[in-house]
């Protein structure tokens, strides 16, 4: 007789928007003896990953790599560039923008939040207008999230830079692309970003545990006068050690093995191809959502995320949304698949489908099949055919697909 707690057959479908599935190639790279982090073998590794990660950020500037989470990299971006009491302008795009603001407040910064309904991205015109009002340049930094993981909305960072420039304001531009890096196009240098924050567990396909600050020369100059307390997060000692391929403390050696392999995988595929793959899978997912008769949380098609799709649950006769968490539980128990939960303001009525990282057409079809079967089992009203709609999109957009010629 089958035991209720027996291990389910087959692989677990981890379809949350991060941590993403770690591919075997990276797991094998990490499955290697830890080496002396002061020796020449590590030095070669350090120099390689520090050079390769710049290509992923599309920057010529230094990228600081921390043994830490994205939350730590948020703090690092703030403490290295700002002083107690400094004013920072932030934009409410979702749960993670809100958490970043809370960190700023805890550090003694004076944060100002431009409110938003979580269904749209950053409106650069509002940032421009606020900065234009700041004649005394009290605002020292603008902090925005590039790809908001809680909502599936991607903001136009180049537009934010243009807004700052049009306002002729000297504020630093700090950007979180924790879920965007390695999944959707991000250009640290071209978009004039001063500090970019990211992490290992999303598009880079690694386990959680390392995070990043890509830093402009303007940001480095600001760090020399910044007065917020910092020790572990300080850039100065890290950048000095990095010149020779080392760190001033014990780095996450085996995660750096994985990072080296992840960079190889992304660069071998080509970043343009990586971004196109993510957008294609996102479009197929939205085709399924539309066919189910449901709604995507993001309301501006220009801001649809290639990383994830947040789906709004339908309403019952009383006008209440069907419970997204109860639905997710049905999917997990029946199909061994994890879907992302709704966070904070969208908790209970939104679920998230991750389609990022080491992900292909068949992975997407398995994911969407699990969702559609879950609707049926959970009694969630929907129209059938979402999987077929996604399949049709994938078939019509398959790269290099050749049509068979009829026999004469």
Q: Quote the DSSP letter at residue 304.
A: B
Q: What is the pTM of this model?
A: 0.95
Q: What is the structure's pLDDT at 399?
A: 80
Element (H, E) at 273: helix 271-291
Asked whether the predicted pLDDT for residue 21 surpasses 90, the reply is yes
Residues in the chain: 408
Interatomic CA distance for residues 313 and 297, integer angstroms: 10
At 148-160, the pLDDT tens digits run 999 999 999 999 9
Contact 353, 367 (CB under 8 A): yes
Asked whether the predicted pLDDT for residue 3 surpasses 70, the reply is no
At 179-192, the pLDDT tens digits run 999 999 999 999 99
Q: What is the structure's pLDDT at 121?
A: 98
What does the angle CA 168 – CA 173 – CA 175 come to, to the nearest 5 degrees? 150
Q: Helices 40-57 and 253-269, interaxial angle, to 10°? A: 40
Question: Which CATH code, of 3.30.70.1380, 3.40.50.10860, 3.30.420.40, 3.90.1150.10, is assigned to 13-19+271-397?
Answer: 3.90.1150.10
Asked whether the predicted pLDDT for residue 404 surpasses 60, the reply is no
pLDDT band at 2 (very low <50, low <70, confident <90, very high): very low
At 228-255, the pLDDT tens digits run 999 999 999 999 999 999 999 999 999 9
Once rounded to an integer, what is the mean pLDDT over residues 363-377? Answer: 98
pLDDT band at 402 (very low <50, low <70, confident <90, very high): low
Asked whether the predicted pLDDT for residue 116 surpasses 50, the reply is yes
Select from 320, 338, 318 the least CA-distant residue to 330. Answer: 338
Interatomic CA distance for residues 146 and 98, integer angstroms: 13
Q: Helices 70-79 and 95-106, interaxial angle, to 10°? A: 50
pLDDT band at 8 (very low <50, low <70, confident <90, very high): confident
Interatomic CA distance for residues 197 and 176, integer angstroms: 5
What does the angle CA 10 – CA 14 – CA 16 come to, to the nearest 5 degrees? 160
Q: In what order do the strands lie in the sheet with 172-176?
A: 63-67, 210-215, 195-199, 172-176, 139-145, 87-91, 110-114
Q: What is the structure's pLDDT at 38?
A: 97
Q: Quote the DSSP letter at residue 75.
A: H
Q: What is the structure's pLDDT at 408?
A: 45
At 298-326, the pLDDT tens digits run 999 999 999 999 999 999 999 999 999 99
Once rounded to an integer, what is the mean pLDDT over residues 20-29? Answer: 98
Q: Quote the DSSP letter at residue 403.
A: P
Asked whether the predicted pLDDT for residue 123 surpasses 80, the reply is yes
What does the angle CA 267 – CA 272 – CA 273 come to, to the nearest 5 degrees? 80
Once rounded to an integer, what is the mean pLDDT over residues 384-400? Answer: 94
Q: Output the CA–CA distances (angstroms, integers) from residue 162 to 92, 121, 166, 190, 359, in the order listed.
A: 19, 16, 6, 11, 34
Owner of token pair 């910092």:
230
Select from 20, 273, 307 the least CA-distant residue to 153. Answer: 307
Q: Provide the CATH number for the domain formed by 24-268 in this structure.
A: 3.40.640.10
Q: What is the mean pLDDT of the chain?
A: 96
Interatomic CA distance for residues 90 and 78, integer angstroms: 12
Select from 354, 359, 356, 386 the least CA-distant residue to 373. Answer: 386
Residue 352 among known ligand-binding residues: yes
Asked whether the predicted pLDDT for residue 45 surpasses 50, the reply is yes
Residue extents of the structural domains in the chain: 13-19+271-397, 24-268
């Amino acid at each position: 007789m089958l035991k209720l707690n027996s291990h389910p057959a087959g692989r677990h479908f981890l379809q949350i928007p991060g941590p993403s599935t770690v591919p075997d190639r990276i797991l094998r790279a990490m499955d290697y003896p830890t080496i002396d982090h002061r020796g020449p073998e590590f030095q070669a590794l350090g120099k390689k990953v520090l050079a390769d990660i710049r290509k992923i950020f599309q920057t010529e500037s230094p990228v600081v790599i921390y043994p830490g989470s994205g939350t730590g990299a948020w703090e690092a971006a703030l403490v290295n560039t700002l002083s107690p009491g400094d004013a920072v302008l932030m934009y409410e795009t979702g749960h993670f923008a809100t958490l970043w603001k809370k960190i700023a407040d805890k550090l003694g910064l004076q944060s100002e939040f431009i409110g938003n309904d979580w269904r749209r991205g950053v409106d650069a015109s509002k940032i421009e207008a606020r900065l234009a009002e700041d004649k005394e340049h009290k605002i020292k930094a603008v902090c925005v999230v590039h790809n908001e993981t809680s909502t599936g909305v991607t903001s136009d960072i180049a537009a934010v830079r243009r807004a700052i420039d049009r306002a002729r304001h000297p504020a630093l531009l700090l950007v979180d692309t924790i879920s965007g890096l390695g999944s959707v196009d991000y250009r640290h240098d071209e978009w004039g970003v001063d500090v970019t924050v990211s992490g290992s567990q999303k598009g880079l396909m690694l386990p959680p545990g390392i995070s990043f600050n890509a830093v402009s020369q303007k940001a480095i100059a600001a760090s020399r006068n910044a007065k917020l307390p910092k020790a572990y997060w300080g850039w100065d000692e890290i950048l000095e050690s990095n010149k020779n391929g080392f760190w001033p403390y014990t780095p996450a050696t085996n995660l750096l093995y994985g990072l080296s392999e992840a960079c190889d995988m992304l660069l071998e595929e080509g970043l343009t191809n990586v971004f196109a793959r993510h957008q294609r899978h996102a479009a197929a997912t939205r085709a399924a959502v539309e066919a189910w008769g449901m709604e995507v949380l993001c309301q501006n098609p220009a801001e649809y995320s290639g990383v994830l799709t947040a789906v709004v649950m339908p309403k019952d006769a009383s006008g209440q949304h069907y419970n997204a968490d109860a639905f997710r539980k049905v999917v997990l128990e029946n199909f061994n698949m994890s879907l992302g939960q709704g966070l904070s303001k969208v908790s209970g009525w939104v679920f998230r489908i991750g389609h990022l990282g080491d992900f292909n057409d068949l992975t997407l079809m398995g994911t969407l099949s699990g969702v559609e079967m879950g609707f049926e089992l959970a009694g969630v009203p929907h129209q059938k055919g979402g999987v077929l709609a996604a399949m049709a999109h994938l078939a019509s957009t398959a790269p290099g697909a050749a049509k068979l010629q009829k026999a004469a």
